[in-house]
Amino acid sequence: MTGIIIALILNNFIRRRMVLACKKTLQNKEKVLKVSVNDETAAYLNRHRNEDLYRIDELITKRHDIIKYKLCLKKRSFDFYLKKQKLLNYKVIAIKIY
């Protein structure tokens, strides 16, 4: 039972670190322009960068070393592509609106 509780707490901590990396990226306009897949994504993110990111579903997929995390900002959904750095740090490498 203790192992399950520790796994749940660790899982929640990892998800918070990923959301924190996404929020930090949104605060920097140059970084948003650099990692956005297209101009529509960059324009929307820069207009609404002070809004809160939130999750709708818990779907996280991983292919090779790239983590795809779905988050919403205002009324639009985004795919954030993250790469794990040292320990529990993550870096946003691309953002795509859909």
The CATH number that applies at residue 33 is 3.10.450
Confidence of residue 61 (pLDDT cuts 50, 70, 90): confident
87 — pLDDT class (breaks 50, 70, 90): confident
Collapsing DSSP to helix, strand or coil, 44 comes out as helix
Q: What is the mean pLDDT of residues 5-29?
A: 92
* Contacting residues for 31 by C-beta, under 8 A, at least 6 apart: 25, 92
pLDDT score of 59: 77
| pLDDT above 80 (res 58) | no
Q: What is the pTM of this model?
A: 0.87
| Domains identified in the chain, total number | 1
- State the average pLDDT for the chain: 90
Q: State the residue range of the domain holding 31.
A: 2-97
Cα separation of 12 and 27, whole Å?
23
